[in-house]
Structure 1
Amino acid sequence: MSMWKQPRSVWAVAFACVIAFMGIGLVDPILKPIADQLDASPSQVSLLFTSYMAVMGVAMLLTGWVSSRIGSKSTLLLGLAIIIVGSALAGLQDSVAGIVGFRAVWGLGNALFIATALAAIVSSARGSVAQAVILYEAALGVGIAAGPLIGGELGTISWRAPFLGVAVLMAIALVATALMLPASPRPDRPTSLSAPIRALRHRPLLLMALTALLYNFGFFTLLAFTPFPLDLSARAIGLIFFGWGLLLAVSSIWVAPRLQAKIGTIPSVLLALTAFALILLSMAVFTDSKPVLAGGVVLAGFFLGINNTLVTESVMKAAPVERSTASAAYSFVRFGGGAVAPWLAGFLGERVGVHVPFYVGGVAVLLAVALLASGRSLLSHIDAPETDPEVTLAEAVTVGDS
């Protein structure tokens, strides 16, 4: 069955996912304009990512508790409403501290939305879980690609415009989701607050979470720090990161499944992470070359797309717990622990040297490779075939990865 032949409710949630994922790269083109106009340092501006990620990570522990009590549709709408408030108020601030504070509110909304979005897609979609993941990753890729492009274009008007633009788009997504997504039943048993923490007792899930935490140091060095040594206009930065997001979308949808079928899930992730680490180390050596930095950003998107799709699917299968719980546990470690990465990259770039953040990011990703390789025997079940797609679809609650 073609994964593209889906009911309107699936496309409504997918559209909302696109807008939500725009928030990841939307601020890249305007980081330097915000720093210049509000007289802030790179490490201060990078807190826009840190507050967003830290709150998102901690809030992931609450998403299962909330959605199991009010239902997935209500959780989606609540998350979208909070994002609208956070993004709109961030665009109306006159200080970096104010923007950072409302980016944190945005992160809360994103946690509620992202952790529930795939649940809605999987429960309403036609096809297998793998197809639902690819559809979800397609929305992620389009959103990540469009975010910097829209942020760059709106950033030529004002650094405030991208924030306000997201609020308008999210309002449209909220209306579409409210009208098209059917009401979802509540689970028979509410999820406890401690369930995600207890899920980390499963070593395969903990292994994937710690691998992602280390990988995030490289990912957010690329995302939050590269605009500063590039020192280009908002539009130029937006176009560079659009190329990054475009390759990410292409590889996550078409390349990842083929590579997985050829060499297996974990070998594919190890290959993608190794290539990403080498790109970061090359950017560390040639930080003074804008063509190398720009090319490195775009090329990294190809390998990050492979990693995103396959890690998302792996987390769904890593531990014998509800997928919503596994997702919350994984995202808590990944986002909460990795939140320091954007600030650290800016701090090291200011205080030590502009090359250092890329070295640190590259080494952290290599450590992720070493950790995953050392524990790959724990994940030998990842490539086991789905025994019954209909049962798998009924049991799949969410994964909430981005």
Structure 2
Amino acid sequence: MSSAHAPVSNPFKQPKAVWAVAFACVISFMGIGLVDPILPALSSKLHATPSQVSLLFTSYLVVTAVAMLVTGWVSSRIGAKRTLIAGLVLIVVFSALAGLSGSIGGIVGFRAGWGLGNALFIATSLAVIVASSSGGFAGAIILYETALGVGIAIGPLLGGELGGISWRGPFFGVAVLMAIALAATVTLVRPTPRPARRTGVLDPIRALRHRGLLTMGLTALCYNWGFFTVLGFAPFPMGLDAHRLGYVFTGWGLLVALFSVFGAPRLQARFGIAKTLYANLVLFSADILVIALFTDNTTVLVCCVIVAGVFIGVNNTVTTQAVMTIAPVERPVASAAYGFIRFIGGGLAPFAAGKLAEGVNVHAPFYVGAASVLLGVVVLATAHRQLGEAERVQAAELAAAAPAAARREELQEEALAEDLGSAT
């Protein structure tokens, strides 16, 4: 069966444990966009430059990237559930401390601790969802990316409302919501067996010797440079208050969610992995280029930022599936290696954007972001053969999973019919 005609499994038929982790993922990803509406307010209230404020993203994502290298080592020794809990506890503690801080340096430091918890949680949550999912591998990835999109969509809306009260509000909001996610994880997620082989600290680095995984990681680094230039710097030239910034990035996040769940699977089924990614990256680069050309026009800037959600949603789902398929290593190791490279790009981009704006002009960060995403297309093309192999593997997995999924649906329908019969 070719990938062009492969069926898409239902990602929403999942056990309670998967839904519990997905719920925690929603709240975790809310933390990415929650601070977006308050970036200009932080700059004003704490007398910080845009590049200093952008360090909130840099410290968070760079620490997340480096910590990704040890997530497998930790998880293979204490188990996935305990690793999830440890990550959630760290996020609760450091987000609350960020809210209590009175300086930009303190917030940046606490965001670094937040990033450590984020790494433990993100890498492990993806592995748990994939391992526990009953909707197939592709369905598990779609569910994970749905959680990402919903979290990113709700985060700015809540951040804008809380930020309208105080810039401290979003940080305390994350602490409360992650405490709820922690309670859900403790009560609903069952302990998973530890892997037969313990993961070494250097395993993710060794995994990057595989050309396909390294190429996908470098492509993601280029793409995330553009992504986080838009996410981390675009709020400054918009000139909007916290409420309106929240609405803008909520619209952006909704498109991320919709195209992660509905757009990406259909585009991949129609055109395949390679063509979908090539076209999507080119269009995303063009969107950032329009932002660069019309940075001073608030209407164009807002519209292009919202539209960027389409390309980000498609890219996140298709790329994550490709990475987890293309890597000839265990999926947790592949996730850690891939996360290490891509979050480095995401972490450095907002800080570099602030410096470029201060040293050149407000358009420069977006020109660099557009060029970076276009460079990602060139890098991706060097792994065209591996992408084709990933398509064949995914098609085979879907074909193998289809009979089992159909049988589960038959059993569910039979059980429902029996219940109705006994009720009458």
Which of the five TM-score ranges fits, normalised by the shorter chain? over 0.9
- Which residue of 2 is the match for residue 370 of structure 1? 378
The whole-number CA distance in structure 2 between the counterparts of 1:333 and 1:310 is: 17
For residue 122 of structure 1, report the CA deviation from its aligned partner. 2.1
Moved over 4 A (4+): none
User: Corresponding residue for 2:175?
Assistant: 167
Residue of 298, 320, 325 corresponding to 1:290: 298
- Identify the match of residue 157 of structure 2 among 140, 143, 149: 149
Q: Which residue of 2 aligns with 1:398?
A: none
Match of 2:192 in 1: 184
Residue 27 of structure 1 pairs with residue 30 of structure 2: no
Contact 2:91-2:117 within 8 A present in 1 as well: yes
Deviation at 1:271, TM superposition (A): 1.1
Partner of 1:396: none
Q: Cα deviations across residues 271-316 of structure 1 (Å, max 9, x unaligned)?
A: 1111110011101111110001100110000111000000000110
Pair 1:199-2:207 in alignment: yes
Pick from 86, 107, 124: which aligns with 1:116? Answer: 124
Aligned residues: 392
1:7 maps to 15
Once the two structures are superposed, the pairs formed by residues 328-339 of structure 1 within 5 Å of their partners are 328-339=336-347
Unpaired runs of 5+ residues, structure 1, are: 394-402
> Which of 380, 384, 396 in structure 2 is aligned with 1:386?
396
Give the one of 356, 359, 364 matched to 1:351. 359
Which residues in structure 2 correspond to 1:207-218 (within 5 Å)?
A: 207-218=215-226
CA deviations 1:140-198 (Å, max 9, x no partner) are: 11001001111001000000000001100000110111001111111111101110010
Consecutive unaligned residues in structure 2, runs of 5 or more: 1-8, 406-424
What is the aligned counterpart of 1:300 among 283, 295, 308?
A: 308
**2:225–2:345: 8 Å Cα contact kept in structure 1?**
no
- Give per-residue Cα distances to partners, 1:189-218, cap 9 Å, x unaligned: 110111001000000000000001111111
Counterpart of 2:257 in structure 1 is: 249
Corresponding position of 1:400: none
State the distance in 2 between where 1:79 and 1:130 align: 25
Counterpart for residue 272 of structure 2: 264
For 2:325, which of 306, 312, 317 is the aligned residue? 317
| AA at the equivalent of 2:99 | G
- Say whether 1:126 aligns with 2:142: no
TM-score (norm 1): 0.95
Whole-angstrom distance in 2 between the partners of 1:3 and 1:279: 30
CA distance in 1, matches of 2:246, 2:174: 15
Structure 2 distance, partners of 1:339, 1:2, is: 34
Equivalent-residue separation in structure 2 for 1:126 and 1:314 (angstroms): 20
Q: How far apart in 2 are the matches of 1:80 and 1:64?
A: 16
Contact 2:26-2:151 at 8 Å conserved across structures:
yes
Query: By how many angstroms is 1:317 displaced?
Result: 1.0
Alignment of 1:218-233 (within 5 A): 218-233=226-241
Q: CA offset at residue 333 of structure 1?
A: 1.1
Q: Does 1:102 align with 2:124?
A: no
Quote the Cα distance in structure 2 between the aligned partners of 1:131 and 1:117: 15
Larger proportion of helix:
2
Q: Distance in 2 between matches of 1:180 and 1:377?
A: 41
What is the CA–CA distance in structure 2 between the aligned matches of 1:317 and 1:182, rounded to whole Å? 26
Pairwise CA distance, 1:338: 3.9
| Aligned counterpart in structure 2 of residue 91 of structure 1, from 65, 76, 99 | 99
Q: Secondary structure at the match of 2:391?
A: coil
Q: What is the alpha-carbon distance in structure 2 between the residues aligned to residue 313 and residue 80 of structure 1?
A: 25
Aligned counterparts of 1:336 and 1:361: Cα–Cα separation in 2: 14
2:420 — aligned with what? none
8 A contact 2:13–2:135 mirrored in 1: no
SS of alignment partner, residue 277 of structure 1: helix
Larger radius of gyration: 2
1:29-60, Cα deviation, whole Å (9 max, x unpaired): 00000000000000000000000011000000
Q: Secondary structure of the equivalent of 2:389?
A: coil
In percent, how many aligned pairs have the same letter? 59
Q: Could you tell me how far apart the structure 1 residues matched to 2:11 and 2:390 are?
A: 22
